[in-house]
Amino acid sequence: MSRVKFLKDYRDSHLDQFKAISEYLFYHPELKFKEFQSAEYLMKQCEVLGFKVEGNVAEIETAFVASYGAGKPVIAILGEYDALPGLYQTPNSASKNDEGNKVGHGCGHNLLGTGSLMAAAMVKAYMEEHQLEGTVRYYGCPGEEIGSGKTFMVRDGAFDDVDFALCWHPSPSNSVMNLSSLANYLVNFHYKGISSHAANSPHLGRSALDAVELMNVGANYLREHVTEDVRYHYALHDVGSSSPSVVQDSATVQYLIRAKTIDTVHDVYERIKKIAQGAALMTETEVEIDFVKGCSNYIPNTQLGFQLHHSLDEIYEYQASRDDEQFAKEIFNSLTDNEQKNKLTSLVGFGFLDDEEALEGKYIYDKVSPYKETDHILSGSTDVSDVSWVVPTGQVSCATSAIGTPLHTWQMTSQGLSNLAVQGTSNAAMTMAHTAIELLDNPNLRSQVQQEFKQFRSKNEYINPIPKGVLPR
- pLDDT surpassing 90 at residue 5: yes
Q: What mean pLDDT comes out for the span 82-94?
A: 94
Q: Please give the average per-residue pLDDT across 172-195, as a whole number.
A: 96
pLDDT grade, residue 453 (50/70/90)?
very high
Q: Where are the alpha helices (DSSP H) in 87-244?
A: 109-130, 149-155, 208-222
| Tens-place pLDDT, residues 219-254 | 999 999 999 999 999 999 999 888 999 999 999 999
Q: Where residue 97 falls among pLDDT bands split at 50, 70, 90?
A: confident
**Mean model confidence pLDDT for the chain:** 95
User: Please, which pLDDT band fits residue 308 given cuts at 50, 70 and 90?
Assistant: very high
Tell me the pLDDT band of 352, cut-offs 50, 70 and 90.
very high
Q: Do domains 3-182+297-459 and 188-294 have the same CATH topology?
A: no
Query: What is the CATH T-level fold of the domain 3-182+297-459, as seen in this structure?
Result: Aminopeptidase (3.40.630)
Does CATH number 3.40.50.620 belong to domain 188-294? no
Percentage of the chain beyond pLDDT 90 is 91
**Crossing angle of helices 3-27 and 36-48, rounded to 10°:** 150
Question: Shortest CA distance to 324 belongs to which of 314, 315, 332, 316?
Answer: 332
Distances (CA, A) of 390 to 92, 158, 171, 295: 39, 11, 26, 13
Torsion of CA 173, 63, 51, 443, to 10 degrees: 60
* Whether pLDDT at 139 is above 90: yes
The average pLDDT across 122-126 equals 98
Evaluate whether 405 touches 274 at the Cβ level (below 8 Å).
no
The per-residue pLDDT for 346 is: 80
pLDDT, tens digit (0-9, with 9 covering 90-100), for 26-51: 999 999 999 999 999 999 999 999 99
Structural contact between residues 135 and 74, judged by C-beta atoms closer than 8 angstroms: yes
**Half-sphere CA count of 82, side-chain side, radius 13 A:** 20
Do 99 and 85 touch, CB atoms closer than 8 A?
no
**pLDDT-based confidence at residue 349 (cuts at 50, 70, 90):** confident
At 385, the pLDDT band (50, 70, 90 cuts) reads very high
Lowest-confidence range among 21-25, 122-126, 335-339? 335-339
DSSP-derived secondary structure for 246-310:
EE-SEEEEEEEEEESSHHHHHHHHHHHHHHHHHHHHHHT-EEEEEEEEEE------HHHHHHHHH
Phi, psi at 441, each rounded to 5°? -95, -15
Q: Where are the domains of the chain?
A: 3-182+297-459, 188-294
The arithmetic mean of pLDDT across residues 98-111, rounded, is 89
- Please return the burial class of 436, using the count of CB atoms within 10 Å of its CB with bins 0-12, 13-18 and 19+: buried
- Per-residue pLDDT of 143-156, as tens digits, reads 999 999 999 999 99
Mean pLDDT along residues 117-130 = 97
pTM value is 0.95
How far is residue 328 from each of residues 142, 335, 368, 402, 423, measured CA to CA in Å? 30, 11, 18, 5, 14
